[in-house]
């Protein structure tokens, strides 16, 4: 068994990575920004089925904005899963508030991994680094595509993930030494929520279930189950075919918000009673955008029927993800079971 460090142990994807690493028998480490949260992390892991963790999990304090703590966390590690990354629920006024920690944090982790003899880093990037910035493109994306950061209207998160991943690959080519890199690019990460720390993608499902959206805008998203994202990280960690590769992680064809709403109505039972199923016209979204910065940030994506292919991960790594429908319904069920939906 290997010794593996997961950055961002409190996060949604990070927690599921820890659960699967522990289940596979690995000696596991995790970084957190505040060690006072260690008990919260362990409670989250128990919620996900990792009961007898004990000393097989060690926590280290490390922050993406500082050098301290990273070397200590990586001493003796075989692999690092660099999952930690800022993903705010609101758009920052200054895009560098997001770009700088995302880029600098990734490079800080790579340097520490190289200097401490780590064999391979698996970096969690995003579809945000693949499928944005081309105004006319609505076809299926693959790992060959890159987001064009020079495009007007690009959101800070999309710029940040693209810049960070490109600089990570440049670092490996320029000064990586013997360090190997593999990259996972998930679409919207859904699936079983284990507590209040979950992906921003889940906020859309939460709002649909709570009825806080008046209708369904003509926006299209990919969906992938968090358990499958974690599984892909573990596969990319040890499979030689993953070295030097990036993998687009999607559970299947992309869905519109309306299609998501209809799946919830059809399969989520009573908790879906507030889900809206009427389309919101684009002209109305443009009017709302005059007063809502979050809506304004999505205007360039209206009507773009994007898609993405998981063929590479399935072919090279034997990855077999759940369907977007399964991921969506698992999200709804877990939000309800944990009492995370507003009542009334």
CA distances from 245 to 109, 145, 161, 168, 284 (A): 18, 13, 16, 12, 42
Among candidates 246, 256, 297, which has minimal Cα distance to 278? 256
Taking every pair of C-alpha atoms in the chain, what is the biggest distance, in angstroms? Answer: 57
312 is catalytic: no
CA distances from 301 to 64, 67, 125, 144, 254 (A): 30, 37, 20, 21, 13
**Looking at 161, 206, 296, 306, which residue is catalytic?**
161
Sign of CA dihedral 159, 163, 165, 166: positive
Asked whether 189 and 224 are in contact (CB, 8 A), the reply is: yes
d(CA 322, CA 125): 20
53: helix, strand or coil: coil
Catalytic residues: 161
């Amino acid at each position: 068994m290997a010794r593996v460090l997961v950055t961002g142990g409190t996060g949604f994807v990070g927690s599921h990575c820890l659960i699967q690493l522990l289940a596979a028998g690995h000696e596991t480490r995790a970084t957190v920004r505040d060690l006072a949260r260690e008990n919260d992390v362990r409670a989250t892991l128990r919620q996900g089925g990792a009961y007898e963790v004990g000393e097989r999990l060690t926590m280290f304090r490390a922050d993406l904005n500082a050098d301290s703590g990273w070397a200590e966390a990586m001493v003796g590690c075989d692999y690092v899963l660099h999952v930690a990354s800022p993903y705010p629920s609101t758009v920052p006024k200054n895009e560098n508030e997001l770009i700088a920690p995302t880029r600098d944090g990734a490079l800080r982790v790579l340097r520490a991994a190289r200097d401490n003899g780590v064999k391979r880093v698996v970096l969690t990037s995003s579809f945000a680094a693949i499928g944005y910035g081309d105004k006319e493109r609505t076809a299926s994306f693959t790992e060959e595509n890159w987001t064009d950061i020079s495009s007007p209207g690009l959101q800070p998160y999309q710029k940040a993930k693209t810049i960070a991943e490109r600089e990570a690959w440049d670092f490996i080519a320029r000064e990586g030494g013997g360090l190997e890199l593999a990259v996972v690019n998930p679409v919207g990460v859904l699936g079983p929520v284990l507590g209040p720390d979950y992906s921003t993608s889940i906020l859309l499902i939460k709002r649909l279930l709570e009825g806080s959206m008046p209708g369904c805008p003509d926006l299209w998203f990919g969906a992938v189950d968090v358990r499958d994202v974690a599984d892909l990280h573990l596969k990319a960690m040890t499979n030689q075919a993953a070295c030097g590769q990036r993998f687009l992680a999607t559970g299947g064809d992309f869905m519109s918000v309306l299609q998501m709403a209809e799946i919830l109505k059809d399969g989520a039972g009573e908790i879906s009673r507030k889900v809206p199923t009427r389309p919101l016209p684009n002209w109305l979204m443009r009017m709302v955008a005059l007063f809502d910065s979050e809506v304004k940030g999505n205007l360039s994506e209206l009507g773009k029927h994007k898609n993405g292919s998981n063929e590479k991960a399935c072919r090279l790594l034997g990855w077999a993800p759940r369907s977007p429908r399964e991921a969506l319904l698992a999200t709804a069920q877990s939000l309800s079971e944990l009492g995370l939906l507003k009542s009334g």
